[in-house]
Each structure stands twice: as structure tokens, then as C-alpha cells.
Amino acid sequence: MPLRGVKQGCPLSPLLFSLFINDVDEEFETGFMGAVTGTEGLGVTHMLYADDLTLTAYDPVQLQKMLRQLEWYAAREGLTVNVQKSYIVNFNAYRNSAFPIFRLYNQKLEERDYFTYLGMLIDKHMNLHHAATHALRQNFNAALRRVKEFGIEKRISDRPHAMLWLFKTYALSAGMYASQICSMQVLEHNNVFSNPLQVTHMAFLKRILRVNLLLQTGECSEIAHRNSCNFTGSGQLSNFGTGLLFK
């Protein structure tokens, strides 16, 4: 019978682990510059969520020192860092530029062109289009498929108000996850709705409202407003539909 620890899958496990490594921040507070930011004098040395730790540095020498510091911290706390799940991404590097070797526990860390942090793909060129496409394929399309299947199963595909609420319940959160980051590039002038998440979002709403897929966003919103009484008997759908289109 085990005398310590928790069962696999126990909901207490992530909480206890977070409390246990809460002091890991102190290891990188002094002596490390971290990655530069847009604010002068402000650097970011690491990002930590539960057991997902990312070290960031502008100087390769500094990063290797941070890896050694992490080794010492883990040894002191009785932990072991999984080298097989650890890798290096060199941001904004030229194709043929020399890339230093980084080691953890004297083992060479794998070099990659991207990594996934909290479900968001971040590639070495910080291409937000790739991040949005990843979110579309991994989460949003699956959620939309569930909405379609539910509509067919319950025979409500011909009821726009019901399908819109299903969309809000099952799909909207998946489509909006990390949208503040993924959609930054579409804030540029004349670049509206170039994000694949937005394009898919709009196309699905147009199908629910049974309007021409070639209609512009404003026209689709006007149709939703004009026909809201036919759908719900009130103006609630108009407000809801317009909120989905422009949120």
C-alpha cells in the first residue's frame, strides 16, 4: 500500500504539484536577463502553468545557465525534468544560421521549428496564421462537427435559433480560444476576415441563417436582424447573431 503520493488522475494532483513548485520562480529572478520585450529594461525569463514550464532568453549562454539552474532546483526538490518532452525553438533565426547545442542532464535537447503552449501553436517565425490554422484543425472544426451531428440527431437542423444556441454552447468557446493573439494580424487595414478561424466562423453562421455564402459580413448581419422575429419572435437572436459576427 503506497504511503505517499496520490492516485493517477486524482484532481488533487495538479493543485498539489503547483503548490510544490511554486517557488521555482525564485530560481530565475536574479542573474538572468530573459527574453527582451517592448518595454525597456523588462525581460521575461520563463512562463509557468501547472507543470508546463517554458524558459525564454535572448542570449544562448544565458539559456544554458537557466537550464543548469533548473537541474539544480529539480535535484533539490526531488524532481526530474523529462528530457524527451523538452526541446528548443530558436525564434527569428535565419535558415542557415548556426544554432548552439543546449543540454539538460548532459543530454542534447531536440531543436524544433515550433512548440505548443497551452494549446496554442507558436512557430519560430511567430506566424499567427499558422497558430489560427492549428486552432481551427484541432478544436474549432471538431466543435462545429459536433453541432452538425447534434442538429441531425435531434432533427433541429432546420431551426436556426436552436442551431445558433448549439453553436454558442459547443463551438464558440473553441473558436474564441486565444483569439486575442491569433487575430492580431487581422487588425491591419483592409485585412478583416483573413483569419481562417473567422472565415470558418462566418461561413458556418451563414449556413445556419441560410444566406448566400458570398454575402458580405454587414449584409449577413442585416439579414439576421431583419428575420429575427421569424426565428424567435423577438429581437434576441438579432443581438446574439450580431454579437457572434463581430465578437
Residue 24 DSSP symbol: G
Residue pLDDT, tens place only, 10-55 = 888 888 888 888 888 889 988 888 888 878 888 889 988 877 889 9
Q: Decide the pairing of beta strands 110-112 and 87-89.
A: parallel
Is the pLDDT higher at 152 or at 189?
152
pLDDT of residue 247: 36
The DSSP bridge partners found for residue 112 are 89
Q: Is residue 73 scored above 90 in pLDDT?
A: yes
Q: Is residue 113 scored above 80 in pLDDT?
A: yes
pLDDT of residue 144: 92
User: For 100-113, what is the mean pLDDT?
Assistant: 91
pLDDT of residue 216: 56
Is the pLDDT higher at 241 or at 180?
180
Q: How far is the C-alpha of 218 from the C-alpha of 202, rounded, in Å?
A: 11
pLDDT bracket for residue 212 (50, 70, 90): low
**How many Cα atoms occupy the beta-carbon half-sphere of 239 within 13 Å?**
4
pLDDT bracket for residue 128 (50, 70, 90): confident
Residue 109 DSSP symbol: P
156: left (phi over 0), alpha (psi -120 to 50) or beta: alpha
pLDDT of residue 99: 77
User: For 105-111, what is the mean pLDDT?
Assistant: 92
Range ranked top by mean pLDDT from 12-21, 75-84, 221-230: 75-84
pLDDT of residue 188: 59
Question: Cα 23 to chain center, whole Å?
Answer: 26
Q: How far is the C-alpha of 131 from the C-alpha of 136, rounded, in Å?
A: 9
The three grid cell numbers given for residue 110, joined into one nine-digit string: 531536440
Residue pLDDT, tens place only, 135-168 = 888 888 999 999 999 999 999 988 988 998 999 8
In the chain, the N- to C-terminal Cα span, in Å, equals 53
Instruction: Return all residues near 81 (Cβ < 8 A) that are at least 6 apart.
Output: 70, 71, 74, 104, 105
The DSSP bridge partners found for residue 115 are 122
Q: Which amino acid would we find at residue 245?
A: L
